């Protein structure tokens, strides 16, 4: 298995537009390309996917939380290449892990979706258009696949432009995160501090009244 170096990535982009019209040469590395965060994200617990804009370019993933991220680039895989995808190291070190697929099949077309989880101890903030993922291209051992793969076997359908309802439903439900637990604990502590003295005073008063009633 041979991975394409930067010169070959540039050449295949020129020939086949493998990284789509959003391609920027500055994002080509030694043997990979840095994919940028797209404008649509879904964080579990939100009612619907969020649309990032230049005015509101950030999304936040709390500890323990799941999310679906999209790429800015639209991939156009030739039939003689397979690609491998990963989250960039700077985000891995913060605790962001990819829990979905790790490769892109020959003939795939469209934006990539990453299902991720924050397994770190702190919030992770991602910004629209920021290099967030890496993609590595490799040639097939023998020729090409001879045509598009069976579309019935493709979960993330061809020419995907964003997050679909079924993608949201796969990660549906509210996620119990460390930050939510901490907020609940802090809220409980505040209630105890506010109402605790009143409860104690009421209890002591009740004991005093009962003592008077039963006193011979």
Write down the pLDDT at residue 87: 97
Q: What class has domain 6-170?
A: mainly beta
pLDDT at res. 183: 64
Three-state DSSP class for residue 27: helix
Q: Label the pairing between strands 103-104 and 81-87.
A: antiparallel
pTM: 0.76
Q: What pLDDT is stored for residue 154 in this prediction?
A: 46
Over residues 67-91, the pLDDT tens digits come to 999 999 999 999 999 999 999 999 9
Tokens 């993608």: give the residue.
Answer: 167
**85: β partners:** 135
Q: What was the pLDDT predicted at 216?
A: 61
Residue 96 bridge partners (DSSP): 118
Q: What integer pLDDT is reported at residue 136 of this predicted model?
A: 98
Listed by start position, the domains of the chain span 6-170, 176-216
Q: Which residues of the chain have pLDDT under 50?
A: 152-154, 156
Which of 127, 125, 117 minimizes the C-alpha distance to 176? 117
What pLDDT, on a 0 to 100 scale, did the predictor assign at position 215? 59
């Amino acid at each position: 298995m041979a991975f394409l170096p930067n010169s070959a990535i540039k050449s295949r982009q020129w020939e086949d537009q493998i990284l789509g019209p959003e391609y920027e040469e500055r994002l080509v590395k030694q043997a990979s390309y840095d994919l940028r965060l797209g404008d649509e994200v879904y964080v579990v617990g939100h009612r619907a996917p969020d649309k990032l804009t230049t005015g509101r370019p950030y999304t936040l993933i709390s500890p323990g939380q799941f999310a679906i991220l999209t790429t800015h680039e639209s991939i156009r895989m030739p039939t003689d290449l397979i690609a491998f995808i990963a989250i960039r190291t700077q985000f891995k070190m913060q605790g962001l892990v990819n829990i979905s697929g790790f490769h892109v099949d020959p003939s795939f077309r469209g934006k990539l979706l990453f299902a991720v989880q924050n397994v770190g101890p702190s919030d992770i903030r991602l910004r629209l258009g920021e290099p967030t993922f890496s993609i590595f291209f490799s040639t097939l051992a023998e020729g090409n696949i001879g045509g598009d793969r069976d579309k019935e076997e493709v979960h993330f359908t061809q020419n995907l432009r964003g997050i679909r309802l079924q993608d949201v439903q796969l990660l549906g439900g509210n996620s119990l995160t460390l930050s939510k637990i901490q907020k609940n604990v802090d809220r409980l502590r505040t209630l105890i501090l506010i109402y605790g003295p009143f409860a104690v005073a009421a209890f002591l008063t009740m004991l005093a009244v009962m003592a008077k009633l039963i006193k011979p």
